[in-house]
A and B are shown apart, each in its own frame.
Chain A
Amino acid sequence: MTRGIGRRAPLFTLYFSMFLSGAASAAPPSPAPTPTAPLPSATLTATVRSVDAQARTLQVVTGVGYALRVVKISWKEAPMVKAATAGGGMSQLKQGDLVRVEYAKAPEGNVVMSIELLPTPAPPSVR
């Protein structure tokens, strides 16, 4: 089946919630704010395909058998990358790195919550 069906749903939800929040500001103050439900999250161990610091986007490769898929994850405030040797910013990540990413499944897309650089065996050219 074709992909992309329902892609506008998150956008609609966002506009609708903005409309609702606008309506709420015009209404009399409510007694207590309703706590927002935490976003669902997921953890993924995968290989870095690309890091775009300007766009604040990380792409990782994962999959099942030969069916490979790219997962796009963005970040808002630059997360510290945990590593066995020394931590650092997202810019230290490069294609081929093995990472464990915990991310929130936000309406606007996946957002990094924490990221860890895992040790990888040497690439073939180093042999």
Chain B
Amino acid sequence: MTTGLPVSTILLITGFCLALIGLWGMLTQRNILRIIIGFALIDTGLHIVMVATGYIRGGTAPIIDAALSKADAARRAIDPVPSALVVTAIVIGLSVTAVMLAFAIRLYAAKKTLSIDAFTESKW
């Protein structure tokens, strides 16, 4: 692997690009389901970014076993804190997506359409 860029930079670019695609999708699509997909893309992109900030050059997974001794861990393990935070973030993202999908079902039941243009009551 001899790309000029460090691994975490590649991951950051990937994650932020995914978030931008999601933002673009949320702003341009008129279908509620596609807007939710855009949200999920932003979510995933930011998870990648968070994990990337924990990477340490030449690091490995913070699990002590035959491949990584306790004495070695301080030098070779990656930062475990962002990984632990991302587990939380994934669960919260799933929760928000589930609630949004439930609302989408309710909106569809109300208007028989999923286009955001049909819901003008709360438009300013």
Q: Do the two shown chains form a genuine complex with each other?
A: no
Could you tell me which A residues sit within 8 Å of B by CB distance?
none
